[in-house]
Amino acid sequence: MSANTERYETAVARYFEAWNAEGRDTLTKAVAAAWTTDGTYTDPLADVRGHEGIADVITAVHEQFPGFAFRPLGPVDGHHDTARFGWELVDPKDGSAPVAGFDVIVLDGADRIRSVHGFLDRVPA
């Protein structure tokens, strides 16, 4: 594994820690560890900036899918300050994943996320 691959995988691991955080305090800390202060998150359903906005989006998803967890889908790929990866939102009761997508992140010099551009590949009807 190259140093760059490790860089991307570490940033993506922090990203999933934030998306799977339980409780607002834990979520707030995880978002701060993963994103820059003015970091952004954009997907077809959200366009927010800053830790509070990102935490609010994550909270809303967990309210819509209580008990579900995000997991990586496939490897992380990256170059320069940009990485891409797939993910699924999994129901722990039966292992189904009704939501899946693909995200592209841009990192700063300290390997924190400056921006996320998310794409939804599978969503429930």
pLDDT in tens, 22-39: 999 999 999 999 999 999
Which residue blocks in the chain are alpha helix, DSSP H? 3-19, 24-34, 50-64
Which residues lie across from 35 on neighbouring strands?
A: 113
| CA gap 120, 69 in Å, rounded | 16
- Residue closest to 87 by CA, chosen among 95, 78, 76: 76
Residue 125 banded pLDDT, cuts 50, 70, 90 = confident
**pTM of the entire predicted model:** 0.94
